[in-house]
Chains A and B, each alone.
Chain A
Amino acid sequence: MAEPAVLLNAALVVVAGWLAVGAAGLLRPHATALIARLLFPLGALGSIVLTAVGLAALSAPPATRILPIGLPDLPLHLRLDPLAAFFLFLLGSASTGISVFGAGYFRAGAGTSPGLLCLQYHVFLATMAMVLLADDAYAFMVAWESMALASYFLVTTQHRIGAIRGAGFLYLLLAHVGAIAILLCFGVLQGGSWQFTFDAMRGADLDATRATLAFALALLGFGAKAGLVPLHVWLPEAHPAAPSPVSALMSGVMLKTAAYGLLRVTLDLLPFPLWHWGAALLALGLFSALFGVIFAAVQTDMKRLLAYSSIENLGIVFAGSGLALLFHAERMPLPAALALAATLYHCLNHAMFKSLLFLATGSVLHATGERNLGRLGGLIRRMPWVAWTALVGTLAIAGLPPLNGFVSEWLLLQALLLTPEVPRPFMNMLVPLGASLLALTAALAAYVMVKFYGVIFLGQMREPALADAHDCGRLERLGLLWLALACVLLGLLPAPVLGLLDGVSAELLGASLVHPQASSVWKLVPLSAERASYSPLVFLLGIVALLGASALVATRVYRRRVRRAPPWDCGFPHQDARMQDTAEGFGQPIRHIFAPFFRMHRELPSPLDAVPQYRVTVEDRFWSLLYLPLARLVTRAARLVGGIQQGRIAVYLLYSFLTLLVLLVIVL
């Protein structure tokens, strides 16, 4: 067992190392080979160290340190406690795979030079780690804003394309709106003491109104970062714009910093929990999850589809933390610990499978130059490595046992099943509705992922050019394998992982889940063996045994040749690849069933058209109902303010002078 202070120092060394690696990229900004062969693997090494540090610190007591960097009198307070350690572990383990993949992926091209990209990438990693380590509002905000800036530059790597600049701008805008909300939230949290360390905030004296205000601001701020509906609009724009490893990092890790921030504020910094907050969080999270998955089902761009799926998963994470908060407020420690464990587990799972899938889309993009699902297909025959690792991610994100996505959904459903014991008349009946929404979301996620995988990798190639697609390189395979392995392990060994999470719930809720006598490496028993248990290894063993037996019987006992023939054409001889279901076709039932969610434009061909054309576009209602009116309002306000712009320097100086006078009157 390492000393806590040593662990904190190790984490800081990794952060410094990342910054150094990034700076080294600037020395030879166009030496692609050097950067790929040396710097990115070095960054991955840092990630591995950070993974180990996070793992060790999960069960260690908190360590604090004050770094005299920054403004005078405002040193950086740092703290490594189990909650931060868990997210450091997540950051380290996911970024290991992504950096290794990135080493093979990034190459010289249009846009940002590799050296600059290397700097931005590693600064992004380092600032995410600093967000997790910060122990005062100042350090947190500096790290948070640097993180947003670094990711903004990464999103706009292809900055010569106008649409990408637009996406980046939208992202930056919402990131700043969120940051302002977080800043104000810290302002409320200090409670009149004007001390901005987290320690002082924990001790601050807040009444219920102020606490609720702080909670609402935190929800706004972190919700904007996590893509909670209706603040989600930047996500489907920014994720497809960024290079795939960056999308993976943003979706897999950066969104989790929002979950971290929310948990930090609600369960740690706020003096007491209120059940309304939990209920609001649960409702918003579930709506976000359903909204995200429904929109994911109708997308035709593979990275947009994954971005919407991220909205869904973060919705589930927020719903889980809402449930934990609700239980915590009602003084039900065990269910609260279960819900928190489910939330954290889902964060970890999502980091793994979503990174994996984004990386896989990156490989597909490199091999084919296509992001449009309508021009892909059949790639499993050209890119077996990418396809088979992506299959693991697909099955995991679809929530199928015995992979990892199922475990966190199982835990969350178990937690939801405990809600009838909440001693509040309306809550205990509304929450089963939550369980049904969650179940619906999970089932829809399977629909979405079948579409994603089937249209990209299975079937016939929709374009002849796809026949030239090549599989990814060695380093990329290694990165994909790392993440796929993580998905499998997290699915098969839930009990030890839950044991690790125990430190976090002990810290935040003062409750512990683990029953040493009931749980073992094999068997996950969150509450009691009578209530529920799940042993994925035994389960997998059972499936494999029965599957193997049937395969043995079918292939050995009845040994027959296999003949290849063209597929059955149903009597219609002109079958081609264009007759397969397209992404639009696969989304059609969802468009039909959930029609009120969408703003649809359809152009249907008439029977007389010589060249019939069918087009359907699906838009987000929030754009037309919320953002466009808001934008118009802002423009109008700006015009109004523009009226005081005279263009003469004397007038501007007069404005400044008047402002000074007014301020002096107020202050004195």
Chain B
Amino acid sequence: MNAAAVLTQLFAVIVAVAAAPLFLGWVNVCRAWLQNRRAPPLAQPYRTIGKLLHKEAVLAHDVSPLFRFAPYAIFGSMATAAAIIPALGLDLPFARAADAIALVGLFATARVFAALAAMDTGTAFGTLGARREMMLGFLAEPALLMVFFTASLIAGSTELPVIAGTHQSHTLAVHPSLAFAAIAFLMVLLAENARIPVDNPSTHLELTMIHEAMVLEYSARHLALIEWAAALKLFNYACMGFALFLPWGVAVDLASPPVLAGALAVLAAKLLLAGAALALIETVNAKIRIFRAPEFLAFAFMLAVLGLLVRLLVQE
């Protein structure tokens, strides 16, 4: 592991952390356009985070240190995930430290900390949010794992850079199993990022919310980190989707500046499209009842398993 590799790795993380709120802003702008509303500024998420960072933190009377630690743990997990996912280049030294299974584990760690922190407040809403989040999580997590397994059976590896690299080199090969995996992945993405068919990111209606109920007690810098981590999570999921299903344009080696610029441009283009598509999905769908959410995710899980089966049954 040489210095240049560490630098590119650091660069990748910084790009992800810096660009994540922008991506969220873009999704919000697209949503507003599609719904005939006046769009908020593209940089609104940055402003929100900046405003929150400047405020005085308010903590509930008897929360434990776990509650104060959780935002950092959540943010740290998401930033680490950004270091593992090959968004810009395949040759990331840190990506070798953890594979797709560890990545799923990392998301689970963030979720468990969020749920524990929510239970720590001891309010009805906190515990309700924690329960619902864990309920979605226990179905979304295996579905995501199955999606990764479908891809890793094709590549013969669970390392994300190797998977992306394999898919890149077979430009013309069509894998039917990936069609199943892609739909399952999309459903997991929507559920995990509290997007519309499952949760509404802009609601504060207590009875239906999931993610917002969990973070109700957070304020100021803690809330800023949680919001940032949520944006980063969406960004990470988008990049995971690219690595699995649209790996073209990810540089093999990031050493030279023109290659780096190319990779950045391709990533930006993909994110623009993905953001618009996400906004479209959120606009044409209605939020489902909370009791239907497990069914939605069970469907995603079954599709992912089916993808795995198709991979083995249909001689591709």
Contacts and interface: CB of A to CB of B under 8 A. Distances in A.
B101 interface: yes
Interface residues on B, range: 35 or more
B4 interface: no
Counting chain B CB atoms within 10 Å of each CB, which of A401, A413, A453, A555 scores highest? A401
B137 A447 contact: yes
Contact of A401 (B58, B109, B142): B109
A481 to B, nearest CB: 18
A585 B122 contact: no
B309 A439 contact: no
B106 A547 contact: no
Given A429-B309, A558-B54, A414 B158 contact: yes
Given A542-B83, A543-B76, A547-B75, A565 B127 contact: no
Q: Is the interface of B mostly helix, strand, loop or mixed?
A: helix
A428 B112 contact: no
B121 interface: yes
Given A459-B120, A579-B124, A561 B56 contact: yes
A436 B146 contact: yes
Interface stretch (A105-113, A320-328, A529-537, A620-628): A529-537
B312 interface: yes
B106 A401 contact: yes
A580 B122 contact: yes
A381 interface: yes
Interface stretch (B21-29, B219-227, B258-266, B269-277): B219-227
Contacts of A558: 53-54, 221
Interface in B121-138: 121-128, 130-132, 134-135, 137-138
B209 to A, nearest CB: 12
Interface stretch (B90-98, B195-203, B237-245): B90-98
Contacts of A550: 72, 75-76, 79, 225
B158 to A, nearest CB: 5
A563 B219 CA distance: 11
Contacts of A50: none
A432 B115 CA distance: 30
A334 B127 CA distance: 46
B123 A560 contact: no
Contact of B80 (A440, A523, A539): A539
A454 interface: yes
B97 A538 contact: yes
B142 A436 contact: yes
A551 interface: yes
A583 B13 CA distance: 40
A81 B178 CA distance: 47
Interface string B191-233: 0000000000000001000000000110011101100000000
A593 interface: yes
A568 B76 CA distance: 27
A555 B135 CA distance: 33
A417 to B, nearest CB: 6
Nearest to B141: A443
A286 B294 CA distance: 22
A534 B98 contact: yes
Interface in B242-263: none
Interface string B291-316: 10010001001001100110011000
Interface stretch (B37-45, B59-67, B279-287): B59-67
A410 to B, nearest CB: 5
B138 A447 contact: yes
B157 interface: yes
Interface string A442-457: 1110110111011100
Interface in A383-416: 387, 391, 395, 398-401, 406, 409-410, 413-414
A439 B146 contact: yes
Of A443, A535, A566, most buried by chain B (CB within 10 Å of CB) is: A443
Contacts of B149: 417, 432, 435
Interface in A562-584: 562-570, 575, 577, 579-581
B88 interface: no
B97 A539 contact: yes
Nearest to A586: B131
Given A439-B141, A450-B130, A406 B53 contact: no
A529 B120 CA distance: 41
A560 B55 contact: yes
A212 to B, nearest CB: 28
B112 A444 contact: no
A579 B128 CA distance: 10
Contact of B115 (A433, A450, A551, A555): A450
Interface in A475-509: none
B62 A381 contact: yes
A75 interface: no
Contact of A454 (B97, B127, B142): B127
A460 interface: yes
B5 to A, nearest CB: 13
A458 interface: yes
Contacts of B224: 554
A593 B297 CA distance: 12
Nearest to A459: B122
Contacts of B141: 439, 442-443, 446
7 contacts: A410-B101, A413-B101, A446-B108, A449-B112, A458-B66, A539-B102, A589-B132
Interface of B: 13, 53-62, 64, 66, 72-73, 75-77, 79-80, 83, 94, 96-99, 101-102, 105-106, 108-109, 111-112, 115-116, 119-128, 130-132, 134-135, 137-139, 141-142, 145-146, 149, 152-153, 156-159, 162, 206, 216-217, 220-222, 224-225, 291, 294, 298, 301, 304-305, 308-309, 312-313
**What 10 A-B pairs come out closest when comparing CB atoms?**
A547-B76, A581-B127, A454-B119, A459-B122, A460-B122, A439-B142, A567-B60, A538-B97, A546-B79, A589-B135
Given A429-B312, A443-B138, A580-B124, 5 more contacts: A399-B108, A432-B309, A440-B138, A444-B138, A542-B97
